[in-house]
Amino acid sequence: MLYPNQFTVDEAWIVFTLNDEPIHTIQDGDFNFLALMDAASCYILGSSTVPASQGEPTREQAAKLLHTGRALKNSIPEKLFIPEAMAGRYLIAEAELLGIDVLRVTDKDL
């Protein structure tokens, strides 16, 4: 189980889905809402909506989410935690391009 007191601010970020079921809209269809959070402060650094049919953020969405956090904090973390159940190939690729170590964790550990 991960707890905020295990980290220092900007040491690690967490990407997670805010909703349990896709959010339905008449105009745009179903989507999931992702958040990027600092593990120590629990501060939300950014968010992104991803069409449920897409299954995961695109490379552009992943890059934008991480760059939003980077711009806000003026730094990047050492680690990025991503739930094992989340399809995250582009999040992983973009994080690795920035030199961030990616760790997959179970939902219960978040």
The three-state DSSP-derived secondary structure of the chain is CCCHHHCCCCCEEEEEECCCCCEEECCCEEEEEEEEEECCCCCEEEEEEEECCCCCCCHHHHHHHHHHHHHHHCCCCCEEEEECCCCCHHHHHHHHHCCCEEEEECHHHC
pTM of the predicted structure, to 2 decimals: 0.91
| Residue whose structure tokens are 């909506």 | 49
- Written as one letter, the residue type at 27 is Q
Per-residue pLDDT, 53 = 87
Residue 6 has pLDDT above 90, yes or no: yes
Per-residue pLDDT, 108 = 85
The pLDDT tens digits for 19-74 are 989 999 888 889 999 999 999 999 999 999 998 988 889 999 999 999 999 999 89
